[in-house]
Amino acid sequence: MQTLAIALGALVLYLVAYHTYGKFLARKIFKLDPNAKVPSIELEDGSDYVPTQKSVIFGHHFTSIAGTGPIVGPALAVIWGWVPALLWVLFGSILIGAVHDFGALVISMRNRGQTVGEIAGRVLSKRTRLLFLSVLFLALTIVLAIFGLVIAVVFKMYPAAILPCLVQIPIAVLIGLYLHRRGVNILIPSLFALAVMYLTVAYGNGGFLADINAELASWPIIAWVIILLLYSYLASVLPVWTLLQPRDFINSLQLISALGLVLIGLVVAGFIGGAPIDDGPRQSLEIVAPAFRWAPEGAPWIFPFLFITIACGAISGFHCLVSSGTSSKQVKCETDAQFVGYGSMLTEGFLATLVILACVAGLGMGAKGADGIVLFGADAYDARYGSWAAAGGLGAKVGAFVEGAANFLMALGLKSTFAIALMGVFVASFAATTLDTACRLQRYVVQELASTFVPSKNEKQSSSNPLAWLTNKHCATIFAILIAGALASMPGKPGGDPGTGGLILWPLFGATNQLLAGLAFLVIAFWLWRRGLPVWFIVLPTIFMLVLPGIAMGVNVYGFLQMGQWLLAGLGVGTILLQFWIIYEAVVAWPRAKGVLEPCSSESETLPDGGRSC
């Protein structure tokens, strides 16, 4: 019953937080106005700026920020015990992560859909813009290089997940085209698409569908990486209503339905136990992991690495890119921002909570050990989390969640093959939504960086600039996927498979991603400070998210030097210096910024009353 009480308690806590703290931020701090002009309407172009119903934009935003982050991070972090992981997810998401996402979304909407990197150049300094965009470019390059590998690994682990993930793409395009022409509600077509996906899951383990899945799973990793990057190119340049919005809405329905099933299964398992084993008694649902485990074998220090390991689910810098890169260009009414920005992060926090429970309680109801024998209770946990090496691989982390969550579904009477395949689809499809959104975001970053060096408004002079081609959306996207593809195509380690090259820079991503959150908080704080708005609620989160990633990066750099990994050490030192530079710029600018609006750009700011700041 303890597991059930935690799940239901977390759900109530998130609902209360949304209707109290979230509402306070919306009304008293950001002063959201339903009559304000928003970028999606003012700059509507049918491609990037598209006014969208809040349920649809919620689906896009949530599935883009979620990905595998709230699964992989918590599934690894429970090695330090379930209590620290749970507390960081609950309070981190409410007080830090949701504030970060919500704030980035609002200030981008007030600045005609500009990214936080672009806004940083105005509210801090021009140099900060270039420094910030450079951090974004590095982080997104790693995401693009690694997520193709993540999806390929999940496909190899759970072949039954392949066809359901692939079939939703053409269905999403058809739905997008149909809805754009007819203007009807997206819910019914998306439910149909969801039903088709679940049918392919149900029948994907037998007959010719199983043969197709097995053949696709046998493809080399590099083939999947290339295919997924090409798909990302199309998703990036097509109008958002064509593929991005309908696919993400389908995935959001899949998430809600899967979360609903997992929660119902958890309730059933809490009252009557899990599925019977060999017609025996039902397995009792109980937490089999230790509450605290300060020094697991081979693991880094819990402080600060717990707060770096669990990013998505508590706070992630990547989210500010989604908020200010795509979502701010689609929000139809300013007051929808609370539901999209604050609400999505709380939903992700609840997902991370269920992931923790799946790994520390669901896993105990039965999981395969290394020799294929099914283990129960603490033995099942120890087999996955006995040491950092045992828990550290992607397969181990994903597998712990998939098997634990599948046990909740099996308590409802679902067959194990269907339950595991369903959870495999859950993981792979959300990794894909992060990949295609990251590609679109990288396109914006490349265009904004290129525009720094192509400043002339004279068409003839601009066209003669050697970097002018990068301001074109197709060229910028191709450049982004070529860089990511070149990195991904290398072996991740000597003798490794081509397509795993993203692993080379992956050790940098955790600290860099969290550093990005701290820098986004700086931008939000300066935007508020210049308008004489309260900043007390954001000061501690800003300091927290600047100090912790800095410590983690310093520890990482020391480890890289010890192992002779000079590339990682050099990039890590460069990132630390970049962090100190931006903080220095902020400290210098802070005393002079209070109540002083930033200099105008050619795209002046939209005020809540619909007017302009300049």
What is the DSSP track for 411-427? TTT--HHHHHHHHHHHH
Residue 599 placed within a domain: no
Amino acid at residue number 174? L
Residue 613 placed within a domain: no
Q: Tell me which of 416 and 88 has the higher pLDDT.
A: 88
Q: Report pTM.
A: 0.91
Residue 554: per-residue pLDDT: 94
Q: How confident is the model at residue 608 (pLDDT cuts 50, 70, 90)?
A: very low
Q: How confident is the model at residue 518 (pLDDT cuts 50, 70, 90)?
A: very high
Q: Tell me which of 165 and 94 has the higher pLDDT.
A: 94
Helices (H), 158-294: 162-182, 187-202, 207-217, 221-237, 244-272
User: Within 10 Å of residue 296's Cβ, how many Cβ atoms?
Assistant: 18
pLDDT, tens digit, for every residue of 130-155?
A: 888 888 888 889 888 888 888 888 88
Q: Is the pLDDT of residue 467 over 70?
A: yes
Which one, of 104, 121, 118, 119, lies nearest residue 585 by Cα? 121
Q: Is the pLDDT of residue 602 over 70?
A: no
Q: How confident is the model at residue 612 (pLDDT cuts 50, 70, 90)?
A: very low
Residue 60: per-residue pLDDT: 87
Which one, of 477, 473, 510, 504, lies nearest residue 490 by Cα? 504
Report for 15-24, 71-80, 452-461, 529-538: range of highest mean pLDDT: 15-24
Residue 537: per-residue pLDDT: 94
Q: Is 276 helix (H, G, I), strand (E, B) or coil?
A: strand
pLDDT, tens digit, for every residue of 256-268?
A: 888 889 999 999 9
Q: Residue 73 is encoded by which pair of tokens?
A: 């991070």
Q: Is 32 helix (H, G, I), strand (E, B) or coil?
A: coil
pLDDT, tens digit, for every residue of 382-438?
A: 988 989 988 877 778 888 999 999 999 999 988 888 898 889 888 888 788 888 888
Average pLDDT over residues 350-356: 95
Which one, of 345, 312, 349, lies nearest residue 103 by Cα? 345
Range of the domain at 80: 2-455+464-593
Average pLDDT over residues 341-368: 93
Q: Is the pLDDT of residue 105 over 70?
A: yes
Residue 612 placed within a domain: no
Distance in angstroms (rounded) separating the CA atoms of residues 579 and 518: 10
Q: Is the pLDDT of residue 516 over 60?
A: yes
Q: Which residues of 39-72 are buried (b: 16+ CB within 10 A; e: fewer)?
A: bbeebeeeebbbbbbbebbbbbbbbbbbbbbbbb
- Report CA torsion sign: 8, 9, 11, 16: positive
Number of domains making up the chain:
1
CB 332 within 8 A of CB 54: yes
pLDDT, tens digit, for every residue of 280-298?
A: 678 888 999 999 999 899 9
CATH number at residue 224: 1.20.1740.10
Q: Tell me which of 50 and 208 has the higher pLDDT.
A: 50
Q: Is the pLDDT of residue 184 over 70?
A: no
pLDDT over 70, % of the chain: 94
Distance in angstroms (rounded) separating the CA atoms of residues 482 and 237: 15
Residue 605 placed within a domain: no
Query: Across 262-413, where does the E strand assignment appear?
Result: 367-368, 374-375
CB 367 within 8 A of CB 375: yes
Distance in angstroms (rounded) separating the CA atoms of residues 208 and 42: 51
Q: Is the pLDDT of residue 306 over 90?
A: yes
Q: How confident is the model at residue 448 (pLDDT cuts 50, 70, 90)?
A: confident
Distance in angstroms (rounded) separating the CA atoms of residues 397 and 420: 14
Residue 456: per-residue pLDDT: 56
Distance in angstroms (rounded) separating the CA atoms of residues 552 and 547: 9
Residue with tokens 């380690």: 493
Residue 251: per-residue pLDDT: 82
Residue 602 placed within a domain: no
User: Within 10 Å of residue 478's Cβ, how many Cβ atoms?
Assistant: 18
Residue 347: per-residue pLDDT: 95
Q: Is the pLDDT of residue 463 over 70?
A: no
Whole-number average pLDDT of the chain:
87
* Angle at 397 (CA atoms; ends 394, 402), nearest 5 degrees: 115
Q: Tell me which of 499 and 123 has the higher pLDDT.
A: 123
Q: Residue 382 is encoded by which pair of tokens?
A: 């120890």
CB 559 within 8 A of CB 551: no
Average pLDDT over residues 229-257: 86
